[in-house]
Amino acid sequence: MNLTVKVHPVVLFQIVDAYERRNADSMRVIGTLLGSVEKNVVEVTNCFCVPHKETDDQVEAEISYALDVYDLNRRVNASENIVGWWATGSEVTNHSSVIHEYYARECNNPIHLTLDTSLQGGKMGLKAYICVSLGVPKGVKGCMFTPIKVETICYEPEVIALKLAQKTVGTRNRQVEPMMDLAQIAEASEKLLGLLNQVLQYVEDVLNEKQQPDNAVGRALLDLIHSVPNMTHDQFATMFNSNVKDLLMVVTLSQLIKTQLALNERLTMLSTT
């Protein structure tokens, strides 16, 4: 089966948080993955931890707790369904097939996601698997966990949150205050200006034969140029001023409507008394 798993950052944060809060005698943590399935893409948007105990001989999970948490989550977001389960660690263990058996009863073709919280190689290894049945007709059947493609994706609000969280790396107290809208625009403009300078420097180096040209980069730059409207400075200034005037008019009208509603409410209260 040609499946692709797309994981949102909040899922990774929740898994790491559950791992940090685990019991002292727990070697790994497991939980349920929530999301949606469309064609051959499994999008994981949420998850929660399921308490369990593992020994060399058996594994015990609190299934009733998992069902209660899933029911509460469905009341908040009915579009999120069970799509599989996750576990910390870099390998599939002997108990994974037993746990996967339960999730196979909860959804079709559940995925198994592993997150290496031990940071082997200096990063958290993220892997995804599906279970493929093996065996001969009328014989003993088994299953094999087959790796599938996995990647991380972000909504626009998640990108802003990640950039804000990234700033805490260089601080002592690991805290950072949210920025005002204008400050964010100024910071984004400075970053965009830096990227434009890098592109211009690359183009100049290629023209001066200081660097070998890359066809892929050239095609990307050509698409970028064609995506920008061909406008003069005066045309852009006229368009920008017109849009600003429209925005100010909408803000003024909204404030007038708000004031009129407040006055109407006060007059209604006075007339009733």
For the stretch 191-205, pLDDT in tens is: 889 999 999 999 999
pLDDT of residue 15: 92
Average pLDDT estimate for 132-160: 79
Average pLDDT estimate for 80-108: 87
**Measured in whole angstroms, how far is the alpha carbon of residue 219 from the centre of its chain?**
29
Distance CA 43, CA 34 (A): 8
pLDDT of residue 96: 85
Q: Is the pLDDT of residue 7 over 90?
A: yes
> Which residue, 19, 43, 42, 41, is CA-closest to 30?
19
CB atoms within 10 A of CB 29: 24
**Distances in Å between the alpha carbon of 268 and those of 136, 259, 261?**
81, 14, 10
Q: Is the pLDDT of residue 273 over 70?
A: no
Cβ(131)–Cβ(1) under 8 Å? Answer: no
Q: What is the DSSP letter of 96?
A: H
Q: What is the pLDDT of residues 39-87, one digit of tens each?
A: 889 999 999 999 888 877 788 888 899 899 999 999 988 889 999 999 9
Torsion over CA: 180, 185, 188, 193 (sign): negative
Position 191, amino acid: K
Distance CA 167, CA 13 (A): 16
Q: What is the pLDDT of residues 14-36, one digit of tens each?
A: 999 999 888 877 788 999 999 99
Q: Is the pLDDT of residue 148 over 70?
A: yes
SS3 204: helix
Please report the beta strands in the chain, taking only residues with DSSP state E, as ranges in sequence order.
4-7, 30-38, 41-50, 52-54, 59-61, 81-88, 111-115, 126-135, 141-152
Query: What predicted TM-score, i.e. pTM, was given to this entire model?
Result: 0.67
Q: Is the pLDDT of residue 1 over 90?
A: no
Cβ(32)–Cβ(50) under 8 Å? Answer: yes
Q: Is the pLDDT of residue 6 over 90?
A: yes
Find out if CATH 3.30.1330.10 is the number for domain 4-157: no
Cβ(127)–Cβ(113) under 8 Å? Answer: yes
Q: Is the pLDDT of residue 248 over 70?
A: yes
Domain boundaries of the chain, sorted by first residue: 4-157, 183-272
